[in-house]
Structure 1
């Protein structure tokens, strides 16, 4: 298997781990169990991985972490929409 394919598959699987959480939040419209700090740290970390991937010209790192940023930004948006004031 090509190492780029392996990297993309590994990255997408890791990044996709938050999709069940996003689906649950969207169905239940409830974010009380989400940690804002965790989301902010995770988004910062994966954004830095995207930057690193760009600097190294590594497509698997860029794609998988960009996907993760999108999923986690979606969760962050849901957090602010569905949180109880």
Structure 2
């Protein structure tokens, strides 16, 4: 693995899992209070474009990291609405 590939791997890992601590905190406290799902939704939407870009340039790391990031961000949105709905009942 060359130097630029290592940098790309580390950068992809970092940006992909940046939202994971917030997701885990929401799940732990079982509340979406204080969370705005808009950013996660926007990030997930644009990461879909990164997946497409990765396909265009034939870069499997770009595709894989961004698919994982899309899942994390849309889980954030889903968890937000799940706990928001439960909180109203």
Instruction: Tell me if TM exceeds 0.5.
Output: yes
1:50 is aligned to: 51
Displaced runs of 4+ in structure 1, greater than 4 A? none
| Higher Cα radius of gyration | 2
1:13 is aligned to: 14
| Structure 2 unaligned blocks of 5 or more | none
Distance in 2 (CA, whole Å) between partners of 1:4 and 1:62 is 14
Which gives a bigger RCO, structure 1 or 2 (Cα 8 Å, sep 6+)? Answer: 1
Task: Give the TM-score taking structure 1 as reference length.
Answer: 0.86
Aligned-residue offset at 1:35? 1.1
1:65 is aligned to: 66
Cα RMSD of the aligned pairs, angstroms, is: 1.5
2:31 is aligned to: 30
Is the 2:26–2:32 Cα contact (8 Å) retained in structure 1? yes
| Structure 1 unaligned blocks of 5 or more | none
